[in-house]
Chain A
Amino acid sequence: MEVLQTHKGEVKAANKYIGKNIKIREDVKLVQGKGHYIDDLELPGTLHMAYATSTYGHARIKKIDTSKCFTIPGVLYVVTGEELKSRLSPFMEIATPPSGNLRDYPLAVDKVRYYGEPVAAIVATDPYIAEDAAELVDVEYELLPVVLDGEKSLEQDAPLVHENIGSNVVWKGVWDLGDTESAFDRADLIVEDVVRTHRYASVPLETNGMVASYDEGSNIITVHSVNQMPMFSLPLICAALGIPPSGFRMIVPPNVGGAFGGKIINYTHITLVSYLTRILKKPVKYVETRTENITFGTHNNERIYHVSLAARKDGKVLGVRMKAIDNCGAYPRYEPAGAVIWAQVVPGIYDVRDIYVEFIQVLSNKGPTGPVRGYSRVQHNFMWERMMNALAKKLNMDPTEVRFKNLIQPEKMPYVGPSNTIYDGGNYPASFKRLLDTLEYKKWRDLQAKSRPDGRLIGIGVAAVIDSGANNFSQIKIINKDFPASGNSDVGMVIVDQFGDIVARTGTTDQGQSHATTFSQIVAEVFDTDPEEIKFQEGFDSISNIWAAHSGAYASRSAVIAGTALYYAARNLKQKVLKIAQSIMDEPISDLDIKNKEVFSKVSGKKIPLAKVASVAWSDVGLLPDGIDPGLMSYAIYKPDFKFNMPDERNRINNTLTYSYSIHATVVEVDPETFQIKILKHVVISDPGTIINPLVVEGQEMGATLHGISAALSENLVYDDDGILLSSNFWDYNVIGAKQMPDLELLQDVTRSTSSVLGVRGIGEGGGGPIGSIINAVEDAVTPLNIKLISSNISSYDLFSLNRKNEVI
């Protein structure tokens, strides 16, 4: 049984509701179609917007003729970048100049920089008219050479994506941690390798969408949108529109159909519909098509690592040096945040302290990147797991043996890493052993050896990820010391209303994570009341609901930060309830407690309903004791202490509050003729910290695992040499479905987080684990064919081609 322990060290009695498999209240509503999503919103008189998009990867816009659009009845307005350039400010950039001078608008200005970039927006009375009209936009282009590869982008004569910044470099920095020179001097061997991660996407079930309306009377623009980081987006939008935040109301509907990071950089569309509603004085709606979502929604950063790893001959890693080149596409919209976010997991799960990283982020003529589940850390974790395998191969050791040599030991927890990240507990070696036992590692190795002479290609791979959760925004100051955000915060509000009902709110948005269920369990624990009795009011509203400047749902933070704020708010409100009850019941407060919406005396047994206390608090206020304000409403804002709160001169900082690990083990079989890859077994072990609802945690972990499997074996955003995206729809961009998914075995070794108040860890993002374990397993399987893998994505076609190149057969 988990124990709910406060940050002050006081220990409550064993939990009654936290940790219980309480039915997920959202599920029934959602499967019955009773959710409220953005496309369900149809304000009276709504107009619809569609984009005309670039047919080229890089081209100068010589002329745009929109006249033909108006030949279709119902078309009301067409806007191009030329108009926006004079009416909006370019979006604020995180980076400092020169790349901070990059000019980004909702529509292409002067030239298009990636295939599918919006060049014009058409507003019409219905969405189909708008789409038809979009096809009549006539753009005259002058083709420009494209640059698609990160390394080529750095070459002297590379085409410039944004000429005014003078190069394609967005940001570069160095992490010089420990003493790599000494580590390399002491090493028995050096392993050098290249590791590449591929481009894939978030692909939520619901695409991006927004509806903007303008009230002339109040001069307020109201936007309903699926944005998952509204308080990050709001200042960007307001600055672009030239209006104060008080003139802009941001609402996120109660239900958002998945996000996985892909609903942060949609502020470009929000700005555009806001601009249009102010002109047209009618609501304007835009919902992405699937092709648009895949083309310009959010792509994951491609990264190339050139790594040198110094080790002893017993497999102990002494140090590592690397150069990482990160390709962020045509516009760094949330970037270059990813250029520092990887540093949340500098050593992976390994006790390596001498690390040197040169990190460069560059532009290219590909779609914009942004957070995708496991943002920026997936790549770094993958690099570690590939290098561990490379070292094992060089030493002719079993890959698991090399890992055991290097895992952070439990007695070192909490582990202060070389960049001052504080890993908050967990027993990595014990979990790894349990994982291998459950997989039946030895049995598979034996079968592999026995079946290879028969031509069977069986492979086993392991890999780990750290899901660092509840981010510390101060890390962005490594990029820009004047960036106006640091730390993290969120709010919780608990109300006992006039009828005695307990109502909770937070500043988070829900994209399917079951916040209502989870947060209700926290409040239920404090009030010792059935969670079903807790009303959770979902939906973000910047004017009428509570929020903090970091509110939203991203970076595995909701349970850790908003959950704590809610816990404090509930605890404070409980004290107020007891104070009022004390005067009503004439009992000492120390004798009173709450259970099932009743206040009772632990001594006399006397009890009154919560509704009675509420009645006095809200309306019968003449009966309130002296010094107690009317109402039963408690608001708490929680700002965690990260210990190393700000970056030092060596870029060291505790980048997040919690560090949940998951380790994956995969057995695959590759068909020697068709090269099809089949997963025979996949086991995951993780430590999510104190579990609030096991069903919710299992769902998150399962989703993250499936996302990773799909990324490794299927999802791939492929561009041709001219910069045309070839996988822009579900025909070519295959998200693996339930039928292709293997059975998963999910294990947990639970330890409390030593950093978070509730002991919980963020667990929403562990998407990268299967990528490493699958690539390692596939490479292991094809060992007899002498095929080396470099990328984080592999298909049967790739294997076939690699095999032909090797001319083994």
Chain B
Amino acid sequence: MNFEGSKEVKSGVDKVWKFMTAPENMVQCMPDVQSYNIVDSKTVQAKLKVGIGFIKEIFDSEITFAEIEAGKKLLITVNSKAKANSATIKIEVSVDGDDTKSTLKWNVDAIMAGRLASIGQRYIQKVSDKIVEQSFVCMTQKLLA
């Protein structure tokens, strides 16, 4: 499953980059985070609640952050497991712009497996899209705060 999106932010590139490379900021923007533990500057363990229709699961997730291109491109990898479900999501986020405004672009490559993938396949794309969208909306709001 692959999808992408973009968002304009009224903040400069440096500010955005600083924000997105701080794992705590990013994790707090993921919807339905039940709890999290920052392991180091590049790794977070979190419990994420994901619901597709009436099926809801709490995923034990390990989220890692790796710079692809300093100040420009970041790879966030989420490895999640829940009861009879698993997901591997790779989110490539790039930031471009100037000192006053930036454009965030993301490209998501997700492999969903297990019961949620089997039963909820027809909704997964939309739900995943929505979750990522919400995360970036949260990010832009926090940057403006």
The verdict on A53 contacting B111 (CB below 8 Å), with A724-B118, A725-B118, A728-B119 known, is: no
Given contacts A56-B113, A143-B111, A722-B113, contact A135 B83 (CB under 8 A): yes
CA distance A134 to B114 in the complex (A): 13
8 Å CB contact of A138 from B81, B115, B122: B81
Instruction: Kindly state the separation between the CA atoms of A789 and B23 in the bound complex, as whole angstroms.
Output: 53
> Which residues on A sit within 8 Å (CB–CB) of B88?
143
**A115 interfacial contact with B, CB 8 Å:** yes
Shortest A720–chain B CB gap in Å is 6
| B70 contacts partner chain A, Cβ-Cβ < 8 Å | no
Interface membership of A55, Cβ < 8 A: yes
Residues on A with C-beta less than 8 A from B84 are: 52-53, 55, 134-135
A726 within 8 A of B: yes
In whole Å, how far is A38's beta carbon from the nearest beta carbon of chain B?
25
Per-residue interface assignment for chain A, residues 100 to 132, with 1 indicating a CB less than 8 Å from any chain B CB and 0 otherwise? 000000000000000100000000000000000
Tell whether, in the assembled complex, residue B111 and residue A726 are in contact, meaning their CB atoms are under 8 Å apart: no
**In the complex, how many angstroms separate the beta carbon of A685 from the nearest chain B beta carbon?**
41
Is A220 close to B, CB under 8 A? no
Assess whether A751 is interfacial by the CB under 8 Å rule. no
Query: CA of A640 to CA of B88 in the docked complex: distance in angstroms?
Result: 58
In Å, the complex CA distance between A126 and B121 comes to 31
B103 proximal to A (CB < 8 A):
no
Q: Mark B67-99, 1 if CB is under 8 A from A, else 0.
A: 000000000000001011110100000000000
* Residues 101 to 128 of chain B near chain A (Cβ within 8 Å): 111-115, 117-119, 121-122
Q: Contact between B113 and A726 (Cβ–Cβ < 8 Å)?
A: no
Q: Are A115 and B81 in contact (CB under 8 A)?
A: no
A314, CB-defined interface residue at 8 Å: no
- CB proximity of B73 to chain A, nearest CB, Å: 24
Closest chain B residue to A295, Cβ basis = B118
Q: Which residues of A from 228 to 252 have beta carbons under 8 Å from B?
A: none
Q: Tell whether, in the assembled complex, residue B111 and residue A722 are in contact, meaning their CB atoms are under 8 Å apart.
A: yes
Question: Is there a chain B Cβ closer than 8 Å to A615's Cβ?
Answer: no
Chain A residue with Cβ nearest B83: A135
Q: Known: A143-B111, A722-B113, A724-B113. Contact between A55 and B85, CB under 8 A? A: yes
- Which residues of the partner chain B approach A55 to less than 8 Å between Cβ atoms? 84-86, 113-115, 117
Residues in B neighbouring A729, C-beta threshold 8 A = 119
CB-based nearest A residue for B82: A135
Q: How far is the CA of A135 from the CA of B114 in the complex (A)?
A: 11
| A136 part of interface (Cβ distance < 8 Å) | yes
CA distance A720 to B85 in the complex (A): 16
- B21 nearest CB across to chain A (Å): 28
| B-facing residues in A674-732 (Cβ within 8 Å) | 720, 722, 724-726, 728-729, 731-732
Residue of B81, B117, B118 most packed against chain A (CB within 10 A): B118
A699 to B88, CA, bound (A): 50
Give the residues in chain A near B83, CB-CB below 8 Å. Answer: 135-136
Query: Contacts of B121 on A, CB cut-off 8 Å?
Result: 720, 724, 726
Residues on the A chain within 8 Å of B111, using CB = 143, 722
* CA distance in complex: A726, B111 (Å): 14
CB distance from B109 to the nearest CB of A (A): 12
- Residues of chain B within 8 A (CB-CB) of A141 are 86
The distance from the CB of A367 to the nearest CB of chain B, in whole angstroms, is 12
Separation in Å of the A78 CB from the closest CB of chain B? 15
Contact A724 B117 (CB under 8 A): yes
Which residues of chain B are near A722, meaning CB under 8 Å? Answer: 111, 113, 117
CB distance from B60 to the nearest CB of A (A): 9
Is the beta-carbon distance between A726 and B118 smaller than 8 angstroms?
A: yes
Q: What's the least CB distance linking A780 to chain B, in Å? A: 31
Closest A residue to B57 using CB positions: A135
**Complex contacts, B86 vs chain A, CB 8 Å:** 55-56, 141
Q: Which of A56, A115, A143, A732 contacts B119 (CB 8 A)?
A: A732
Output the residue of B85, B121, B122 with the most chain A CB within 10 A.
Answer: B121
Closest to A732 in B: B119
Q: Among A138, A724, A728, which residue has the most Cβ atoms of chain B within 10 A?
A: A724
Cβ–Cβ < 8 Å partners of A138 in chain B: 81
Q: Within the complex, which residue of A134, A135, A728 is in contact with B118, where a contact is CB–CB below 8 Å?
A: A728
Question: In the assembly, what is the distance between CA of A725 and CA of B114, in Å?
Answer: 9
CA of A56 to CA of B118 in the docked complex: distance in angstroms? 10
- A724 to B118 Cα, complex, angstroms: 6
Q: How far is the CB of A57 from chain B (nearest CB, A)?
A: 8
- Minimal beta-carbon separation of B116 from chain A (angstroms): 9
Q: Roughly how many angstroms separate A780 CA and B84 CA in the complex, as a whole number?
A: 45
Q: Give the shortest distance, in Å, between B77 (CB) and chain A (any CB).
A: 14
Closest CB in chain B relative to A527 CB, distance in Å: 55
Alpha-carbon distance A725/B117, docked complex (angstroms): 8
Which residues of chain B are within 8 angstroms of A135 by Cβ–Cβ distance?
83-84
Q: In the bound complex, how far is the Cα of B84 from the Cα of A141, in angstroms? A: 13
Nearest chain A residue, comparing its CB with the CB of B53: A731
* B119 CB contacts on chain A under 8 angstroms: 728-729, 731-732
Residues of A within 8 A of B118 (CB): 115, 724-726, 728
A685 to B64, CA, bound (A): 66
Q: Report A783-800 CB contacts with B as 1/0, cut-off 8 Å.
A: 000000000000000000
A726 vs chain B, min Cβ distance (A): 5
Residues of B within 8 A of A728 (CB): 118-119
**Once the chains are docked, how many angstroms separate the CA of A725 from the CA of B119?**
9
- Chain A nearest CB: distance from B100 CB in Å? 43
Return chain B residues, CB-CB under 8 Å to A136: 83
| B120 closest partner in A (C-beta) | A726
**A134 and B119 alpha carbons, distance in the complex (Å):** 18
Which A residues lie within 8 Å of B85 (CB)? 55
Query: Could you mark each residue 22-33 of chain B with 1 if its beta carbon is under 8 Å from any beta carbon of chain A, else 0?
Result: 000000000000
Q: How far is the CB of A115 from chain B (nearest CB, A)?
A: 7
Within the assembled complex, what's the spacing in Å between the Cα atoms of A115 and B117? 11
Within 8 A of B (CB), among A7-66: 52-53, 55-56
| Distance (whole angstroms) from the CB of B3 to the closest CB of chain A | 15
B112: A residues at CB distance < 8 A = 724
A725-741 near B? 1/0 per residue, CB < 8 Å: 11011011000000000
Binary CB contact string for chain A from 77 to 117 against chain B (1 if under 8 A, 0 otherwise): 00000000000000000000000000000000000000100
**Residue among B81, B84, B88, B122 with most chain A CB within 10 A:** B84
Which of B81, B113, B117 counts the most chain A CB atoms within 10 A? B113
Q: Which residue of A lies closest to B113 (CB)?
A: A55
Q: How far, in whole Å, are A135 and B119 apart by their CA atoms in the complex?
A: 16
B85 to chain A: closest residue by CB = A55
Most buried by B among A55, A720, A729: A55
| CA–CA, A22 and B129, complex, Å | 62
Q: Specify the chain A residue showing the minimal Cβ separation from B116.
A: A55
Tell me, rounded to whole Å, the shortest Cβ–Cβ distance linking A154 to chain B.
Answer: 26
9 contacts between A and B (CB under 8 A): A53-B84, A55-B86, A55-B114, A55-B115, A55-B117, A115-B118, A726-B121, A726-B122, A729-B119
Having A55-B85, A56-B86, A115-B113, one finds 4 other A-B pairs with CB under 8 Å, namely A55-B113, A722-B113, A724-B117, A729-B119
Closest 5 CB pairs of A and B: A135-B83, A55-B114, A55-B113, A724-B117, A726-B121
